[in-house]
A and B are shown apart, each in its own frame.
Chain A
């Protein structure tokens, strides 16, 4: 006998409406990016016109390139630092300043971006650092390493501790046990952490606005200043490209994590 479905009509309806709400606006945006008409709201047939326009727009291309560079470098540094932080928090037991350390790692997760951005800018000004690629990268690293730390820490927390003990029992010192057993097992979470850091950096407007200097605007900064002036079809095209890029990153990363942990060790989705 089949078990009676636990889904009520109300459940189905709220799921359907919820998902529609989440996806329709993005879908509409993507469709309109192929609109031939200059008027955003009038459908003038399919066209790649706005993509051509974007690739002809040097300022936009430069901003996009800048964003990609910042995202890739900050995500990589953040993944390294965040993983180290997660290891220290989940395996370090008690140590001096632990509470401060975990507080500093959790706070940026929910700290309003305006505050983080402002404080970092004041630091860079005080140090008289030239603002540009490196300041944005450092700012993004600071923010995203916290996300990496949380993702990796939750994976480390759910890992069976007896795996590490077994490695030691079989002749590994603690560091080699970590490298031989723990690291491969948390690899999916590390990959997920990098992905998250990359997309967060690619996405960030506020912190980048504070910490960047003249002549090195990131893509969100460019998009933002364009959007403030009104809707432009070219922006639709750029947005679609970004969505496409992020989709590719997600697919590659989830494939990678599937391969690295082929055995049902599911990657943390967030």
Chain B
């Protein structure tokens, strides 16, 4: 029962939006939104479409403007420029209580003087819901976030994880068209964070509500979101799926911000079909795959993720490997960092640079592990490389 009701409601919510979708409109359209505080441009011309039912993450370092953008969606800040369209209607200047949007605060902002039940019922009372309906809805929300039996507790009698659930239930109780989550997991410890990520995704899938989550934690964003918008210095640097963001970052900054990466600067030498030959300063000549048309730029960077770099004592062993692994770099193991599931080796190349290789520890007793100062060959295929602007 408790599980069916939200579905029905969510379906109703979607139906409400569907009239707009018929016109091929996204649920939320952000158009050239900008916001300054004094002379500081916190958000600098951001445009973004978000479809109904999406789990979207705004990812970026602190101070990149992601929280300001979120607060503009909630109505706590009004943009200086641009429009915010929800279901086709401009809400940029609407007050927070006039928007069908709810927010889960980073600090949770649970009302300390109210019980769990009254916290969840708070928004429903403002909406003028009948008492009986409020009781039903609260019970349903309590069941949804698995807080049964704690309804009478005050926030300070709850654990961190329980508080987070109350905050979520309170924000969801009004059945918002859009739920904003400001660093929803930042206050939880690592283990709890991982299990809560799963629960949030499950919940979002079940309710069909559109979620926008703000986070500085790239793993969190990649795990939960179907699409990620990376922000830097007030601008959207790239909007893409987690895989695309990781495997095809659009700039050096994104490649470095999302995961670890080896970057080599170099100069374009010649083009052979979809392959480029690039003379790098630190890693000799590399052959990389580049399906895009040449831009005429001669200075380029080559990015390779550490787990795509293989190590061996004498280069690729298999026949196939020898064919594809065109890039082979000789060097000496300079540093070993054992991480449990994998080991990261820093290899000092004979050409002067350093390349990082992440090797999975697939056997418990690894007699083949490399040791410091050992000569190795680091190799990777042209397809594992990404060409980026310098």
Q: Would you call A184 and B97 a contact (CB within 8 A)? A: no
Q: Report if A170-B126 is in contact (Cβ < 8 Å); known contacts: A165-B96, A263-B112.
A: yes
* A184–B102 touching, CB < 8 Å: no
Could you tell me which residues of chain A, from 122 to 166, have a CB within 8 Å of some CB in chain B?
A: 160, 162-163, 165-166
The CA-CA distance from A185 to B110 in the complex, in Å, is 12
Cα A101 to Cα B255 with chains together (Å): 54
B-side contacts of A171, CB under 8 Å? 97, 123, 126-127, 174
- With both chains docked as a complex, state the minimum distance between the C-beta of A183 and any C-beta of chain B, in angstroms: 10
Chain B residues, CB < 8 A from A169: 74-75, 96-97, 101-103, 123, 171
Contact B113 A261 (CB under 8 A): yes
In the complex, whether B111 has a CB less than 8 A from a CB of chain A is yes
Q: What's the minimum C-beta distance from A113 to chain B, rounded to whole angstroms?
A: 37
Could you tell me which residues of chain B, from 94 to 118, have a CB within 8 Å of some CB in chain A? 95-97, 101-103, 105-107, 109-113
B76 within 8 A of A: yes
**Cβ A180 vs Cβ B122 within 8 A:** yes
Chain B minimum-CB-distance residue to A183: B113
Q: Mark B343-381, 1 if CB is under 8 A from A, else 0.
A: 000000000000000000000000000000000000000
A172 within 8 A of partner (CB) = yes
User: Is B250 located at the chain interface by the 8 A CB criterion?
Assistant: no
Q: How far is the CA of A184 from the CA of B101 in the complex (A)?
A: 26
A264: which of B97, B123, B156 is its contact (CB, 8 Å)? B156
Contacts of A29 in B (CB 8 A): none
Question: Are A181 and B96 within 8 A (Cβ)?
Answer: no
Q: Is the CB of B154 within 8 A of A263?
A: yes
| Interface-central residue, B107, B111, B155, by most chain A CB under 10 Å | B111
Collect the chain A residues with CB atoms within 8 Å of residue B107's CB.
160, 162
Are the CB atoms of A170 and B123 closer together than 8 Å? yes
A53 at the interface (CB under 8 A from B): no
Please encode chain A, from 253 to 270, with 1 for each CB lying within 8 Å of some chain B CB and 0 for all others: 000000011111100000
Chain A nearest CB from B78 CB (Å) reads: 13
Name the distance in Å between A171's Cβ and chain B's nearest Cβ.
Answer: 3
Q: Does B170 contact A (CB under 8 A)?
A: yes
Q: How large is the interface on B (under 10, 10 to 19, 20 to 34, 35 or more residues)?
A: 20 to 34
Minimal Cβ-Cβ distance residue in B for A260: B113
Is B126 within 8 A of A263, CB to CB?
A: no
The listed residue (B97, B106, B113, B171) touching A168 by CB distance below 8 A is B97
Query: What 0/1 pattern do residues 40 to 77 of B give for CB contact below 8 A with A?
Result: 00000000000000000000000000000000001110
Q: How far is the CB of B105 from chain A (nearest CB, A)?
A: 5
A254 to chain B, nearest CB (A): 17
Residues of A within 8 A of B112 (CB): 185, 261, 263-265
A170 touches B76 (CB 8 A): no
B-chain residues with CB within 8 Å of residue A176 when the two chains form the complex: 126
Task: Kindly list chain A residues whose C-beta atoms are within 8 Å of the C-beta of B127.
Answer: 171
- Cα A105 to Cα B75 in complex, Å, equals 33
Complex CA gap A160/B110 in Å reads 10
Which chain A residue has the least Cβ–Cβ distance from B122? A170
The answer to whether A172 touches B113, judged by C-beta atoms less than 8 angstroms apart, is: no
A166 touches B109 (CB 8 A): yes
Cα A169 to Cα B181 in complex, Å, equals: 12
Chain A residues near B102 (CB, 8 Å)? 169-170
Q: Is B155 within 8 A of A162, CB to CB? A: no
What residues of chain A lie closer than 8 Å to B123, measured between beta carbons?
Answer: 169-171
Q: Does A167 contact B (CB under 8 A)?
A: yes
The answer to whether A263 and B96 touch across the interface, beta carbons within 8 angstroms, is no
Q: Is the CB of B174 within 8 A of A160?
A: no
Is B113 in contact with A166, judged by CB distance below 8 angstroms? no
A57 within 8 Å of B by Cβ? no
Residues of B within 8 A of A185 (CB): 111-113
Q: Are A166 and B105 in contact (CB under 8 A)?
A: yes
Contacts of A172 in B (CB 8 A): 97, 126
Q: Kindly list chain A residues whose C-beta atoms are within 8 Å of the C-beta of B103.
A: 165-166, 169
CB <8 Å contact, A262 and B111: no
By a CB distance below 8 angstroms, the chain A residues around B111 are: 163, 166-167, 181, 185
Is A173's beta carbon under 8 Å from chain B? yes
Q: Give min CB distance, B213 to chain A, whole Å.
A: 16
Expressed in whole angstroms, the Cα–Cα distance for A185 and B174 within the complex equals 24
Q: A160 — which chain B residues lie within 8 A by C-beta?
A: 107, 109
Chain A residue contacts of B171, Cβ below 8 A? 169-170
Q: Chain B CB within 10 Å — which of A160, A165, A168, A170 has the most?
A: A170
A260 CA to B122 CA, complexed, in Å: 18
Task: Give Cα A180 to B125, complex, Å.
Answer: 11
Contacts of A261 in B (CB 8 A): 112-113
Measured CB to CB, the closest approach of chain A to B122, in angstroms, equals 5
Closest Cβ neighbor of A176 among chain B residues: B126
Complex CA gap A260/B112 in Å reads 11
CB distance from A15 to the nearest CB of B (A): 31
CA A169 to CA B75, docked complex, whole Å: 8
Known pairs A160-B107, A167-B111; list 19 more (Cβ under 8 Å).
Answer: A162-B106, A165-B105, A166-B109, A167-B122, A168-B75, A168-B95, A168-B97, A169-B74, A169-B97, A169-B101, A169-B103, A169-B123, A169-B171, A170-B123, A170-B126, A171-B123, A171-B126, A176-B126, A261-B112
Interface residues of B, Cβ cutoff 8 Å to A: 74-76, 95-97, 101-103, 105-107, 109-113, 122-123, 126-127, 154-157, 170-171, 174
Could you list some 27 contacts between A and B, CB below 8 A? A162-B109, A165-B105, A165-B109, A166-B105, A166-B109, A166-B110, A168-B76, A168-B96, A168-B97, A169-B75, A169-B97, A169-B102, A170-B97, A170-B123, A171-B126, A171-B127, A172-B97, A172-B126, A173-B97, A180-B122, A181-B111, A261-B112, A261-B113, A263-B112, A263-B113, A263-B155, A263-B156
Instruction: List the interface of chain A (C-beta within 8 A of B).
Output: 160, 162-163, 165-173, 176, 180-181, 184-185, 260-265
A-B pairs, 9 with minimum CB distance: A171-B126, A170-B123, A166-B109, A162-B109, A168-B96, A263-B154, A184-B113, A162-B105, A171-B97
